[in-house]
Amino acid sequence: MPTVRFSTYRNRIMEKRVPFIAMFDITHRCNLDCVHCYVRSDGEDYKNKELDLEEICDMLQQVSKAGVIHLRLTGGEPLLRPDFKEIYLYAKKKNLAVTILTNATLITEDMVNFFEKHPPSMLAISSYDLTAQTYEEITRVKGSFKCFQKAIRLLKKTRIRYIVKSVIMKTNYKEAKDMERIAGAIEAYSFYSYYLVPRRDGDIAKNMLINQQRLAPEEIKTLFNSNRKAKAFKVDGSSRKDRIEECGAGRIGFYIDPYGKFNICAFINGPNIDLKKVRFIDAWKSYKMDRTPLMKKKIACGDCESSFSCMWCPGLAYLETGSTEKSIPYLCRITDAVNKERETQKCSVLN
């Protein structure tokens, strides 16, 4: 019976354009108010606009029928929805492998028992630090660290699979220098990013806050020196061209927002297709992204030698500049800083 790695199989199904991975934000509301969040939108207006249980289940039924196997339920905080358990159980009933992206602060004993009975493929938990002060400086909700700690304590006693993901910014930068220690303390596989993504809705005031939290190239250099083996600094060897060719957006993956809007990528906010009016399979078939113009060398970054270690992708470019083709100046600066440091170290080893 052949066993294949997803990374091998994805190329095969990408050619055929089979919807395989769905990212579904079931709410953009959140019980935390993280300084760097790129989606949180709170208030009654947003709540009233959200898809209801019946609409979500209808969409899950459609995506499962179309071939989707892996569902990422995310938000905002997905567990904030009072009908979360119903949504989740329906997804399981539709034979979807469900990963839940959560801040974990709403994971109580009851929720742990529920997940033990109906295990998710994975809980991907956001974490910012191991001290209450720093954690709550980021989440801006008093008492949230205690809830986070309690959830981790409860999860440690179970067989529920979870990983921890962190974002490094000004507030937790000093503590984050030793990420392996943090991962060890939580007893989970951990990965982190030092790149803060701008707001999906382009909110200027919130983007200013995000900019203030972004690490300066010098700080990222220091982070690199203390975490050289971290996945965040791994040079994957793929060029910008490779990354465009390998990008699964619209070929195996897609995104649905809490209001039923479909797009091929979570970072591209428009033009969207309203799944309340159009069946999923029709939206999927009609929304194609022509990657040909992106492959040309003439456009920004086209012949950049640093592209092998840069996080640039068309979606991020869209979020940062409004165009899938432009370069991202902040990414250029931080990539250069890390690359120079990498080169310096290579030279000192050779000498």
Partner 1 sequence: MANDLKKIYKKDPETITRTIDGELIVMPLGEDVGIGDLGCFHILKNKTAIYIWDLIDGKSSVGEIKQEIITRFDAEPKKAESDIIEFLYNLEKIKAIA
Which parts of this chain interact with partner 1 (CB under 8 A)? 1-7, 9, 13, 16, 18, 20-21, 67, 69-70, 72, 95-97, 99, 101, 119, 121-122, 124, 161, 163, 165, 189, 191
Residue 266: which of 257, 275, 274 has the closest Cα?
Answer: 257
> Are residues 99 and 75 in contact, defined by beta-carbon separation less than 8 angstroms?
no
- Is 116 or 343 the residue whose CB approaches partner 1 more closely? 116
- Is 99 or 307 the residue whose CB approaches partner 1 more closely? 99
- Is 9 or 344 the residue whose CB approaches partner 1 more closely? 9
Question: Least distance from C-beta 10 to partner 1, angstroms?
Answer: 8
Residue 123: which of 94, 165, 161 has the closest Cα?
Answer: 161
Q: What is the DSSP string of 319-350?
A: HHHS-SSS--HHHHHHHHHHHHHHHHHHHHHH
Rounded CA-CA distance 266/254 in Å is: 7
Question: Least distance from C-beta 168 to partner 1, angstroms?
Answer: 17
> Are residues 280 and 61 in contact, defined by beta-carbon separation less than 8 angstroms?
no
Tokens of 98: 């469900």
Radius of gyration from C-alpha coordinates of the chain: 20
- Is 165 or 291 the residue whose CB approaches partner 1 more closely? 165
Q: What is the DSSP string of 15-78?
A: HHT---EEEEE--S--SS--TT-SS---SHHHHHHS--HHHHHHHHHHHHHHT--EEEEESS-G
**In the block, which residue shows the tokens 């170290």?**
345
**In the block, which residue shows the tokens 């080169």?**
343
Question: Least distance from C-beta 127 to partner 1, angstroms?
Answer: 14
- Is 189 or 218 the residue whose CB approaches partner 1 more closely? 189
Question: Least distance from C-beta 16 to partner 1, angstroms?
Answer: 6
- Is 93 or 156 the residue whose CB approaches partner 1 more closely? 93
304 backbone φψ class: left, alpha, beta (φ>0; ψ -120 to 50): beta
Question: Least distance from C-beta 72 to partner 1, angstroms?
Answer: 7
Residue 114: which of 74, 59, 155 has the closest Cα?
Answer: 155
Question: Least distance from C-beta 21 to partner 1, angstroms?
Answer: 7
- Is 150 or 165 the residue whose CB approaches partner 1 more closely? 165
Question: Least distance from C-beta 65 to partner 1, angstroms?
Answer: 10
